[in-house]
Structure 1
Amino acid sequence: MTFKYELIIYWSEEDQSFIVEVPELSGCAADGETYQAAVANAEVVIQEWIEIAQELGRPIPTPKGRLLFA
C-alpha cells in the first residue's frame, strides 16, 4: 500500500540513526540505521497505526501533503 503522508526525516546523533516522524498521525515515528531503512520502517509503522485506529474505531486523517511548518 502506498501512503501519501508527509514524512520528516532527520539524523539523530544521540540515537545514531535516522528518525522519521509522521506529523499527521499522532505519535507515529520510526527509525533506522540508514535513510532507506528508516523510511521502510516508517511505512510499516504507518500501516500498523492505521490498522489500530480502525480496530479502535478512531478516524484516520486524510493525507494533506506538505504541511506549513515542515
Structure 2
Amino acid sequence: MRNLDEYPFEIRPLTPEEGGGFLISYPDFSECISDGETVEEAIANGREALEGMIEALEFFERPVPLPSSGGVASGKFVTRVPKTTHAHLTTRAKSEGVSLNTLVLAFIAEGLGRRGPQA
C-alpha cells in the first residue's frame, strides 16, 4: 500500500456561491478532488478520494503517479513550540479525534484561507 501522506494537496475555501466549506485537490491527480464543511473533513474526504483513485488506477492497470514535491517545497517542516503550546495542541487534537499533524495543518489552512491568495 502506498503512503498517502506523501502526496501533496491543496486546500482552499469555497465561496458561498460554490456551496461553502473547503475544497481539497491533489496536483498529482488532476481528477482527484473532494470537499468538506471543515478543513478536517475536507482532508478526511480527500484522503478517501485519493485512496479510491489509486485503487481504481491499479484495478485498471494504469500507472499511478509517484508523489511529487511540486518542484520546490518538500511538504515537510519541523518547528519547535513551547511545551505549553504543545500540550494545548495535543489536548485539542485528542478531544477532536484527529492527529496533532492534522490539527496543525487545519489551523494553517484556515489561516491561509482567511488571508486569501498572496502574490
Cα separation, 1, equivalents of 2:13 and 2:31: 18
Q: Displaced runs of 4+ in structure 1, greater than 2 A?
A: none
Query: How many residue pairs get matched?
Result: 69
Higher strand share: 1
Superposition TM-score, scaled by structure 2 size? 0.53
| Same amino acid, percent of matched pairs | 30
Structure of greater relative contact order (alpha carbons < 8 Å, 6+ residues apart): 1
Q: Which runs of 5+ in 2 are unaligned?
A: 74-119
Cα separation, 2, equivalents of 1:45 and 1:8: 14
Higher helix share: 2
Superposition TM-score, scaled by structure 1 size? 0.88
Structure 2 residue aligned with 1:31: 35
Give the number of the structure whose alpha-carbon radius of gyration is greater. Answer: 2
Structure 2 residue aligned with 1:20: 24
Q: Which amino acid aligns with 1:7?
A: F
Alpha-carbon RMSD = 1.9
Q: Which runs of 5+ in 1 are unaligned?
A: none
